[in-house]
Chains A and B, each alone.
Chain A
Amino acid sequence: MTGPAEQPRELLPVATGPRTRAAVRELIGPHRALGLAAALTMTAATAVGLLTQPLLGHIVDQVAERRPVGALTVPVLLIAAVAFAHGIGTALGLSLFSRLGETALAGLRERFLERALRLPLARIERAGSGDLTARVTADVTTVAQAVRNALPELVRSLLAIVLTLGALAVLDWRFLLAALIAVPVQAHTARWYVGRAVPLYAEQRVVTGAQQQQLLDTIGGASTVRAFRIEDRHAARVAERSGVAVGVTKRGIRLLLSFYARLHIAEYAGLAAVLVTGFLLVRGGSVSIGTATAAALYFHSLFNPVNAALVLMDDAQAAQAGLARLIGVADLEPDADDAESVGRRATPVPGAAVTVSGLGYAYQPGRPVLHGLDLTLAPGERVALVGASGAGKTTLAKLIAGIHPPTTGAVTVVGDVGLVTQEVHVFAGPLAEDLLLARPDASGPELLAALERVGARAWAEALPEGLATVVGEGGHRLTATQAQQLALARLVLADPPVAVLDEATAEAGSAGARSLERAAERALEGRTALIVAHRLSQARSADRIVVMDGGRVVETGTHDELSTAGGVYAELWAAWSLSRALSH
């Protein structure tokens, strides 16, 4: 068997920085008006909110000048009015903003998933299935959380910072200059932090992943660990991985804490400068004590947004990395090196359902596993592929099913091909929904008929809620045999003229295998079928047997012909029936 372990990893692409930004613009493009409205509303709301400090300063002036109590009424009412305007504006702005972000996000995830599902399997196998799974789970979640939580907060913080600085300038331009004293410290701190945090967080992701994997390994395989009495070794491995992860996390926290310590310096420098400026300006008579108060309050209110913005840079960075990985896949040409478009242009042999001519295939250049193979299947014919492990049966089956494009030669199939492999997956959700994937317009009776045909109707109807029972991940657990029957029922519903079956009965245990063989036979009725036979009983009932060895066809013929021909098949059959000889 040619395991994927032999192939070098070639991860799926990651979009470049400029391409990521362009893709974001494309996603937002159709909602330009919404974006503009959101930006304007948020800016207006923040600006209105900044009127509070000068109004408080005005009250301070009234007090300093010992004005009558009545003079306070107007500024106090204005503060309340500003509060309502600020609140309503913020609510509207945030709503518009998240509508924009969420709509763009939904567009992105839909495009991503569509491209991901249309990727040629060969491409996904080269990358390792973990790559795509990580993108569809971790990266989508990271980007979604950034859009939902970090981005609105970041926008609000940045707006608050910019507009507050503007407001300081309106009070007196020298206040702005004083406040900007903090900026070099903050900018330097931010650069210092990002430079260290990015590699550290990358390391943290790696060691946390390793810890997670070790726990999955150890906990998932607990009964094996106990059977081999290697509990101590596994406990030590978990301790080591967890210890490393904790160590890296601690380093991250230390970094974050010294980052904050530096921000405290910036805070103090800026605040002192604003207070000194206020002192000098009040003494020089160019501003009132109320204005100096407003300036100090402005600066004090900058602490939170500045800290928030600097910390949110982290999330933004993680989101950008995730986004680049999503867009990398979303940008892939769906049909690039897809088998469906390559190697299918050969002229079919008249009257044949499947024509294979001069077919060669190599997972790695220079190490072919199939050599110039020729084969035709007549319509309705049932052909069994037989051979030892590593003979190339599974590879041939994949090429005929269109999973891999041929390296040389061609495969021509008249109509669709259905493929059922040993890899069974039960889709999470109601059982009926799972079946409907194969034929979305199937009626209830049609679903039941398909289940009946593969011997699954009885147990399916006996489920707690019948076909509405939620199965798959997190739902009702089906046995290996039931899952395999479901796969065959899908094949019946998809109803392709040509079907390829590969190891479809292997994991069900010997007795289960025999009942599945019968189900497979019924599912294949009326189809041209290629069966990768791991049990020779499957071969014996086929119309024709093709024996492979070393990537070549070495014998073809019926069971009766081959079992007495003294060739490879005869030897296989002897090994298989040695133990059965007495009963036949």
Chain B
Amino acid sequence: MRGSGPTGRSVLGGMVRGHWRKLLVGAVLGAGHQAGEALVPVLIGVIIDRAVDGGDGASLVRWLCVLAAVYLGLSFSFRWGAKAREDAALDAGHELRLRLVGRVLHPGGGAERGHLPGALTSIATEDTRRVGSVANALVLGVSVLAGLLVGAVMLLRISLTLGLLVLVGTPLLLWLGHLLSKPLERHSAAEQERAAHASGVAADLVAGLRVLKGIGAVPAAVARYRRGSRAALAATLRSTRAEAWQTGLTTALTGVFIAVVALIGGRLGVQGEISLGELVSAVGLALFLLGPLAGLAWINAELAQGRASAARVAAVLAAPPAIPGGAPPAGPPPTGHVLRLRGVAGEGLRHLDLETTPGEVLGVALTDPGHATELLRWLGREADPPSGAAELDGVPLTRLDPAALRATVLVAAHDADLFGGTVEANVAAGAPDGADLAPALAAAGADEMVRSLPRGLATPVGERGRSLSGGQRQRLALARALAADPPVLVLHDPTTAIDAVTEARIAAGLRALRGGRPDRTTLLITTSPALLAVSDRVVLIDEGRTVDAAPHHVLVERHPAYREAVLS
């Protein structure tokens, strides 16, 4: 149940309320601009009528001045009105983006559920921008309606018949065009999807280029892409042909409409009911009104898109946290840092018991590596176990504020992300300001590697550390966790991408850095024998149950399952 959180409607409402001043300025000035545009054809008619027809020079000058004043007004209104609405749209998008990121980063988590990171990023960029654009579309809608109103009044003042003809005719014309193009639109959306798919295939093949080269599959990939590209071309051609006929149809219908207006207007003119200038104005207005009316259709589409985007943004904002909040810490913070699990179960884990002693390096070996992820999520309170008790110094984790818990317990995943920036910024991310990074780098076996980088600690690691190899990334992530120096450190498989010699060095370094300090507890969740061998004790979890806790060499002797999981 997501009842209380924001909805798409409330996201849009909040945006309008938050920026009403700029939106109002935009709407008023926008209306002025549209009214000015409607006056231009009217004034052309007036000048033809009053000045050109009679050869009246003074009148010409006078009316050209009026036209100049109209231009000045419409240009000014357009410029400052558009600025106000565009600024409001961008600011609103920016604010919403920050709100969304704030929700994603909230210690309670839960916002990522059901979204791939790429999809969530696109909500944070594209959807927030589109919600902002709703401000634009709303203001434009008001302006366009004002333009239509001015045009309508002008036409009705010229002639009731002609006015009604244009006012009924233009929407009818657009509706007709819309009706005729509807099946085409549906068609074309499907076709464009196929075309987009072809470009997705290209990007996917390039992303897998090493794999293709590795097995000599480049010719097969080229042939496959060519087939896809040709199919996409055929689809695109069908859709562009449909669009071309739609454009042609609209052109023809508009022309016929103008002919009808000219016929009726001409008759009225011949009969002396309207002046020559009014006839010219009416034809000009009929042509002009098509613009704002077509604009309304565009605004409608934009609003529909904006509503859909607002709903997507709201769904993320309203996502319930993955865990209940927990009370703020009562009394002095716990000191012993004893982590205890009692009968914890869920997601394939059936009965987990373990308890750390202060200053211990505790190995945790799971015979099914798939279970480790869930255990990590519970220890870091990304989720709570369905049953059993997890406690820190006797306080259930569920009663601890997740952010406060993480100040004591740091869970470092084996595939932890690096962030853009330098090596130094990454390693220092969780460390106190001005901390010495050298011991952590040395313990993580990253010191030599960092020295070999072109600019040492100042080397940029690229987007998410992509310019480094897997082994380099893993060592930096480990150094970062060690540099943070948390009271309780949980490390998950920190050496999977690292060679045996370096792994042995890391095991010794870890032991030296964390071991034997009564205020520091370390959990190593791994099946790496090198790491388990330096642990004080190892908890063996087989088939989802804690079966024993003893030093590595003892478990090796006692349990075939341990030997199978840990030693090949």
Given contacts A91-B248, A216-B117, contact A140 B199 (CB under 8 A): yes
Given contacts A427-B204, A578-B504, A579-B529, contact A401 B214 (CB under 8 A): yes
Chain A interface mostly: helix
B452 CB–A CB distance under 8 Å:
yes
**A235 pairs with B270, CB closer than 8 A:** no
**B496 pairs with A507, CB closer than 8 A:** yes
Residues of A75-132 contacting chain B, CB below 8 A: 75-77, 79-80, 82-84, 86-95, 98-99, 102-103, 106, 109-110, 113-114, 116-118, 121, 124, 128, 130, 132
**B468 pairs with A3, CB closer than 8 A:** yes
B284 CB–A CB distance under 8 Å:
yes
Q: Which interface residue of A95, A233, A420 has the most chain B CB atoms within 10 A?
A: A95
Contact of A275 among B64, B206, B240, B291 (CB under 8 A): B64
Number of interface residues of A (CB under 8 A): 174
Which chain A residue shows the least CB distance to B462? A5
Given contacts A221-B417, A425-B208, contact A133 B203 (CB under 8 A): yes
A173 CB–B CB distance under 8 Å:
no
Which chain A residue shows the least CB distance to B115? A219
Contact of B267 among A69, A124, A219 (CB under 8 A): A69
B227-246 CB mask vs A (1 if < 8 Å, else 0) is 00110110011001101110
Contact of A91 among B212, B249, B496 (CB under 8 A): B249
Q: Which residues of B contact A91 (CB under 8 A)?
A: 244-245, 247-249
Residues of A351-378 contacting chain B, CB below 8 A: none
| Segment from B250-258, B335-343, B344-352, B354-362 that makes contact with A | B250-258
**A5 pairs with B461, CB closer than 8 A:** yes
Assembled-state Cα–Cα distance A239/B121 (Å): 14
Given contacts A86-B251, A88-B252, A220-B464, contact A278 B52 (CB under 8 A): yes
B512 CB–A CB distance under 8 Å:
no
B266 CB–A CB distance under 8 Å:
yes
Q: Which residues of B contact A24 (CB under 8 A)?
A: none
**A121 pairs with B213, CB closer than 8 A:** yes
Q: Which residues of B contact A16 (CB under 8 A)?
A: none
Q: Which residues of A contact B528 (CB under 8 A)?
A: 510
* Chain B interface category by residue count: 35 or more
Which chain A residue shows the least CB distance to B70? A268
Chain B interface mostly: helix
**B463 pairs with A80, CB closer than 8 A:** no
Q: Which residues of B contact A103 (CB under 8 A)?
A: 233
Which chain A residue shows the least CB distance to B205? A117
Q: Which residues of A contact B501 (CB under 8 A)?
A: 388-389, 572, 575
Contact of A90 among B83, B251, B406 (CB under 8 A): B251
B280-323 CB mask vs A (1 if < 8 Å, else 0) is 10011001000100000000000000000000000000000000
Which chain B residue shows the least CB distance to A296? B44
Q: Which residues of A contact B233 (CB under 8 A)?
A: 102-103, 106
Nearest-neighbour CB distance to chain A for B233, whole angstroms, equals: 4
Q: Which residues of A contact B68 (CB under 8 A)?
A: 268, 272
B412 CB–A CB distance under 8 Å:
yes
Nearest-neighbour CB distance to chain B for A416, whole angstroms, equals: 6
Contact of A271 among B67, B237, B247 (CB under 8 A): B67
B157 CB–A CB distance under 8 Å:
no
**A440 pairs with B463, CB closer than 8 A:** no
**B60 pairs with A90, CB closer than 8 A:** no
Contact of B369 among A86, A428, A511 (CB under 8 A): A511
Which chain B residue shows the least CB distance to A249? B90
Contact of B410 among A227, A301, A491, A572 (CB under 8 A): A227
Further pairs besides A88-B248, A275-B47, A474-B200: 20, Cβ < 8 Å: A3-B468, A64-B276, A114-B222, A116-B209, A117-B209, A121-B210, A216-B118, A216-B463, A221-B416, A223-B109, A224-B417, A228-B430, A228-B484, A231-B106, A231-B107, A275-B60, A292-B48, A421-B214, A437-B215, A576-B504
Q: Can you give 13 A-B contacts (C-beta < 8 A)?
A: A6-B454, A90-B251, A91-B249, A95-B241, A141-B199, A265-B75, A296-B47, A304-B291, A425-B211, A473-B200, A514-B568, A535-B500, A578-B504
Closest 4 CB pairs of A and B: A83-B255, A91-B248, A87-B252, A221-B417
